[in-house]
Amino acid sequence: MFKFVFPALAYKEKAIEFINEFKEYNSEINGSGALDGYLEDSTYEEWLKKVLDDIDIANVEKPRVPALTYFYVREEDDKIVGMINIRLALNEFLRTEGGHIGYCIRPTERRKHYATEMLKKVLEIYDTMSIKEVLLGCDKDNVASSGVIKNCGGELIEELYSETFQAEIQRYVIRR
């Protein structure tokens, strides 16, 4: 069984271990709510402040958007298996190149359908907000991520080259 856990100081060491695994496996990090960047340039505590600022809907500074970030934690061992960033609105960049959701699964826990399970649970959150079209994007080379999106009902709507990511990306919509 898994649960979503809102980031807290109690998860600091587990979060650092989570990000370090991506580095150890030389794996790209997406959907961490910028945790990896904060750990390089600042502190976990500063990242926690950013996570809290992201949910302060009335005061989110442009061009940022309100968002919720969660750890996806396996209950039996309290291990962070994944992270997910749930965007409550879209700016122009997210509308064209990003999407409503960013997520990642730690390298040693991939190919176990955890990303599909996590995304399905988050789509239920969008249902409660009456968001009927959820946009997602991924690198065209990321066959695993596109498979997750398709397993959750994603329809490919566009492929384009992203100057920001320096890669060909695929954009999907999941209609609810």
**What confidence category does residue 156 fall into, taking pLDDT thresholds of 50, 70 and 90?**
very high
| pLDDT score of 132 | 94
Q: What is the pLDDT of residues 110-145, one digit of tens each?
A: 999 999 999 999 999 999 999 999 999 999 999 999
Rounded Cα–Cα distance for residues 20 and 14 (Å): 10
**What confidence category does residue 52 fall into, taking pLDDT thresholds of 50, 70 and 90?**
very high
| pLDDT score of 102 | 96
Residues 47, 24, 162, 116: what is their CA dihedral angle, to the nearest 10 degrees? -80
**Of 172, 38, 159, the residue nearest 100 (C-alpha):** 172
Within 10 angstroms of residue 22's Cβ, the number of other Cβ atoms is 17
| pLDDT score of 58 | 93
Q: What is the pLDDT of residues 70-90, one digit of tens each?
A: 999 999 999 999 999 999 999
Q: What is the pLDDT of residues 95-104, one digit of tens each?
A: 999 999 999 9
**What confidence category does residue 1 fall into, taking pLDDT thresholds of 50, 70 and 90?**
very high
Mean pLDDT score across all residues of the chain: 96
Q: What is the mean pLDDT of residues 163-171?
A: 93
**What confidence category does residue 171 fall into, taking pLDDT thresholds of 50, 70 and 90?**
very high
| pLDDT score of 114 | 98
Q: What is the DSSP string of 81-109?
A: EEEEEEESS--HHHHHTS-SEEEEE-GGG
